[in-house]
Amino acid sequence: MLRFLEDIGFFCIDNLPPLLIDKLLSVAGSSSLRDRKIAMGIDIRSREFFDGFHSVLTILKQKGVRYRLLFIDAHDEVLVKRFGETRREHPLVGEGSLLEKIGRERELLVEFKTMADDVIDTSETTSKELWSMLRGMFLADIKDSFYVNLISFGFKYGVPISSNLVFDVRFIPNPFYLPGLGGQNGNDDGVKDYVMGHRVVRKFIKSIFSMIVYLVPHYQSEGKNSLEIAFGCTGGQHRSVAIANQLRLLLSDRFRANVFHRDLEGDDGSHEKNKRH
């Protein structure tokens, strides 16, 4: 759960003693975490601090802090199997079998299960199904949870190895050879207007946009929270830059869209060909 919440923008903390929640939020309120959603994993390892948990929740309510308490559960036989597969020791030390420790754990946590806003039984749930369930619970309240990275690059410097999709836009006439445009790049209006002036380019961008909108839910269903798409031309200066910029404008209304021009010449004339995103 914490891994999923971290992927969609939460600041996550595991095994936090409940009595430290209020102090953590006080620190977060005066730091860069002020505008971040925070997820805390609390389990039986923090049992010494369970006393007073009610008062902690009361303080949060009084301060107007919105919170949601989830209780994650599974059948005894499933937990026994999971402990065996992971070869982890149960956090309750002392005498007794694993099954007895699980029973004791249930007794200690029964109050928290009663208090929970949601109880999620993962006994027969796959990771994919759990992520889908959590997505429905949280993504409606999280803006821009999925982001698309658009990268322009030059094939002469190599293909970005981290990209999910790569498109070769060298089918577009190269403005480099046109008077007045060779010294510009895809960020300049002259190059942009030239590239977008071709009907085949407009149809290409429309098709790519539709494909991305179609693909994103399928990537999300597999637990991904981002998609990296690269557009390459010869040197990464003109066509690929203009295409990436145009798609960012179109996608920004639906997703958090970022654009990186990997091989675009900087002010000093140097290439960023060794930079990887």
Domain co-membership, 99 together with 33:
yes
CB atoms within 10 A of CB 130: 16
- How many CB atoms are located within 10 Å of the residue 86 CB? 8
The answer to whether residue 118 is domain-embedded is yes
- Tens of pLDDT along the chain (277 residues) come to 888 888 777 889 888 887 788 888 888 877 777 778 889 888 887 776 677 777 888 888 888 888 889 999 999 999 999 988 988 888 887 778 999 999 988 988 888 888 888 898 999 888 877 877 877 777 655 545 678 999 999 999 999 988 999 999 999 999 998 988 888 999 999 999 999 999 999 999 999 999 999 998 888 777 677 889 999 999 999 999 999 999 999 998 888 889 999 998 643 334 444 443 3
Q: Dihedral sign for Cα 125, 128, 130, 133, please.
A: negative
Please indicate, yes or no, if residue 277 is contained in any of the structural domains: no
Distance CA 29, CA 33 (A): 7
Pair (10, 24) in one structural domain = yes
Are residues 167 and 72 both part of a single domain? no
Burial degree of 23 (CB within 10 A; 0-12, 13-18, 19+): exposed
pTM over 0.75: no
Which H or E element spans position 168? strand 165-168
95, part of any domain:
yes
Q: Do the domain assignments include residue 267?
A: no
Of the three residues 110, 141, 172, the one that is the final residue of a domain is 141
Tokens (6 digits) for 178:
């046109």
Number of structural domains (the chain) is 2
| Alpha carbon separation from 170 to 238, 243, 276 (Å, rounded) | 10, 11, 21
Classify residue 107: in a domain, yes or no.
yes
Q: Which domain holds residue 109?
A: 2-141
